[in-house]
């Protein structure tokens, strides 16, 4: 499982786009990039995942570099409820593929 590196903390103004970077330079060809977030004292919540193409859903967009060594999660219009720890993980796409969590980025949204 590839190791991921994220900034320890970030902050963003409410209503602005929050861009959370992640480095995964050792990612292998069959590993996907997953993003989860964890609000205090709750279980992680799935946000988005991708292999090499950029992805978008109702929560966020995922931009993966062409060499797949890094990615950026974009929350287009951050709200106070987006305050959480965001985890970027690399994992295979098969039954029993483990997700190994790194240290994550603590995102604070300021009013």
Partner 1 sequence: GAVVSQHPSRVICKSGTSVKIECRSLDFQATTMFWYRQFPKQSLMLMATSNEGSKATYEQGVEKDKFLINHASLTLSTLTVTSAHPEDSSFYICSAQVGSYEQYFGPGTRLTVT
What is the contact surface with partner 1 in residues (CB under 8 A)?
A: 34, 36, 38, 41-46, 49, 87, 93-104
Nearer to partner 1, 43 or 111 (CB): 43
Minimum gap (Å) between residue 43 Cβ and partner 1: 4
User: Judging by beta carbons within 10 Å of its beta carbon (0-12, 13-18, 19+), is residue 51 exposed, middle or buried?
Assistant: middle
Nearer to partner 1, 13 or 93 (CB): 93
Longest dimension (CA), the chain: 42
Q: Give the tokens for residue 89.
A: 């993980």
Minimum gap (Å) between residue 79 Cβ and partner 1: 20
Tell me the β-bridge partners of 96.
none
Minimum gap (Å) between residue 109 Cβ and partner 1: 20
């Amino acid at each position: 499982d590839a190791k991921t590196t994220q900034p320890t903390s970030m902050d963003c103004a409410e209503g602005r786009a929050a861009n959370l970077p992640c480095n995964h330079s050792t990612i292998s060809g069959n590993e996907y990039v997953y993003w989860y977030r964890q609000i205090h004292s709750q279980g992680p919540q799935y946000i988005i995942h991708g292999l090499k193409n950029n992805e978008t859903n109702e929560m966020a967009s995922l931009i993966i570099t062409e060499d797949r060594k890094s990615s950026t999660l974009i929350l287009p219009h951050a709200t106070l409820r987006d305050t959480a720890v965001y985890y970027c993980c690399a994992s295979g796409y098969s039954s029993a593929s483990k997700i190994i969590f790194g240290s994550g980025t603590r995102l604070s949204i300021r009013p």
